[in-house]
A and B are shown apart, each in its own frame.
Chain A
């Protein structure tokens, strides 16, 4: 409870600081929106020539694409500052301040920034999911809307866990931004059906960096191509496992944190 109140305090302060640079805020939002739009236009261009991809119709692809944006956007919205841990917090000793306050260091790291740019991502995702659902005439009932929310939350947790794990490597290597970027970019593959990829890529996306379980597998459940337990069920399990490993790694990292000279 205390943390929720604290988060509100941090958020409010962050927004106040943000308002001082309104232009920045809107430019960020618009830029993201256009990046997303470019992605969709790309899909259209391809599908003008190929009406179906490995058994996936255009609408289904849009659904998966849009669905993939949601957990990614939520993760981006709340935990973007974890990148800073990988980039400079350890090497510059900036992490010190989090260890001097009586609240959880990870919470402080996350609460440091709220990333409104991500709203563009989430909006595009929502639009795509809704329009493709309408076109495919998928009806999402009460049960499935709960599954939908659970799946997106679990997906966001997986994103955060993977980010946190590779950012925490910085405690050992001083910075891990290159590594984190590399891993994070593999997430882009998960915007498309993994069944179009080669066996090895599919294996990596499913079990090494389980981004496929964030988007493709749960999305295929909603489309009606797969069962609940083997998609969203496994996704939730993966979320729990990855976040536990990531948080343990982060905590282990704190004990070997070396700060920096003054």
Chain B
């Protein structure tokens, strides 16, 4: 479905110098600096796959997506989506893809949502019959009817995201690109969006390429992930593998009334673990424990703390995707 070969995008800019003097100097010099946002990336994605495309901020995710959607023209290399080179035949490509950019809406801001859909119907040449079927389906998975008569600018972020997703799917695209579809959403809406994506993928065999910083999105949706860092591909494969080898670290944060007793405990000796599997930081009355969940459970740590202090508050954090990416970049994956 999607073939990406040696794709590279270099952004050129004129060299800038610091300060006001530098700005003036910049006006008279024309030293071009190139920055490779995407550097020689290749991969293939089959029909009906849901692929997580991840990396830290500025890693080149959006740039890759923009080349696949036809917004940007690559500096070198190529990509083919369903037999079409997107940046050469933009209009043909647009007919077979849908895209949601989480931070930017494609809806008509001043019009009721229903109008957006009727405009899109015309733009994509959707027949009346297909339109009705699609709207029924979209309403069922995204609950659009709740707010379909509201003006777009009055929608909440969660509603807007559902509307945007619906708008991207009206013409039944072969490929759906989602750039951070759950950014800023609450847990319930996130869950709805994920379910909808799953449903769409199952029902229509829509290929989905998704970028996100939310490990939850990836865990629930993707069977394959591609990780990039500084424009280069660093991992391409199953999710399970990466979680087992990299996603095992958790952080437990505990607030206690008085941490004096805790300070005297040697956690590593008590559990017989090395510092790479268990690391304790005490800062005033808050305790932060970094631990390998394959070696020790959160409850063991929590109960030890509870025996020695009154716990006020406690939370467990997942390793976020950026840390995994960082780790992979340092160590490589094999």
Contact = CB atoms under 8 A, between A and B. Distances in A.
Interface stretch (A94-102, A146-154, A236-244): A94-102
Interface string B115-140: 10011001111000000000000000
A16 interface: yes
Contact of B115 (A13, A256, A257): A13
A97 B167 CA distance: 12
Contacts of A257: 71-73
Interface of B: 11, 58, 62, 66, 69-73, 87, 90-92, 94-95, 97, 99, 101-104, 106, 108, 110-111, 115, 118-119, 122-125, 179-180
Contacts of A101: 91, 94, 123-124
B11 A102 contact: no
Given A101-B124, A257-B71, A258-B72, 9 more contacts: A9-B118, A13-B108, A96-B101, A97-B104, A99-B69, A100-B71, A104-B91, A259-B71, A261-B62
A100 B122 contact: no
A17 B125 CA distance: 23
Interface of A: 2, 5-6, 9-10, 13, 16-17, 20, 93, 96-97, 99-105, 255-259, 261-262
B73 A96 contact: no
A21 to B, nearest CB: 9
Contacts of A97: 104, 106
B227 to A, nearest CB: 18
Given A5-B122, A99-B71, A16 B115 contact: yes
A261 B65 CA distance: 12
Contacts, number: 71
Most buried by A among B72, B124, B179: B72
Contacts of A259: 66, 71-72
Contact of A262 (B62, B72, B87, B123): B62
Most buried by A among B103, B110, B124, B180: B110
A102 B95 contact: yes
Contact of A102 (B58, B92, B119): B92
B91 A96 contact: no
Nearest to A99: B71
Contacts of A9: 118-119, 122
B122 A6 contact: yes
Contact of B69 (A100, A105, A262): A100
A250 to B, nearest CB: 13
Contact of A99 (B62, B70, B108, B118): B70
B71 A96 contact: yes
Given A16-B111, A20-B110, A102 B124 contact: yes
A262 B180 contact: yes
B119 A262 contact: no
B123 A103 contact: yes
The 7 A-B pairs at the shortest CB distance, nearest first, are namely: A102-B94, A17-B110, A102-B95, A102-B91, A99-B71, A9-B122, A262-B103
A193 B95 CA distance: 50
B180 A100 contact: no
Given A13-B108, A97-B106, A103-B123, A258 B91 contact: no
A100 B119 contact: no
Contacts of A258: 11, 72
Nearest to A9: B122
Contacts of B97: 100
A163 B104 CA distance: 27
Nearest to B87: A255
Contacts of A262: 62, 101-104, 179-180
A20 B179 CA distance: 33
Nearest to B171: A102
Given A9-B122, A101-B94, A255 B106 contact: no
Nearest to B180: A262
Given A6-B122, A9-B122, A100 B95 contact: no
Contacts of A255: 73, 87
A155 to B, nearest CB: 30
Nearest to A258: B11
A100 B94 contact: yes
Contacts of A96: 66, 71, 101, 104
Nearest to B94: A102
A104 B94 CA distance: 11
Contact of A256 (B66, B73, B101, B119): B73
Nearest to A93: B104
